[in-house]
Amino acid sequence: MPVEIKELIIRANIVDSNDINHKSPIEGNSDQKQEIIAACVAQVLKILERKRER
The per-residue pLDDT for 44 is 92
The per-residue pLDDT for 39 is 92
CA atoms within 13 A of residue 5's CA, in its CB half-sphere: 3
The per-residue pLDDT for 38 is 92
Distance of CA 21 to the CA centre of its chain: 23
This prediction's pTM: 0.45
CA 37 to CA 43: how far, in whole Å? 10
Residue 16 has pLDDT above 80, yes or no: no
- Please work out, in degrees rounded to the nearest 5, the angle formed at the alpha carbon of residue 47 by the alpha carbons of 46 and 52: 95
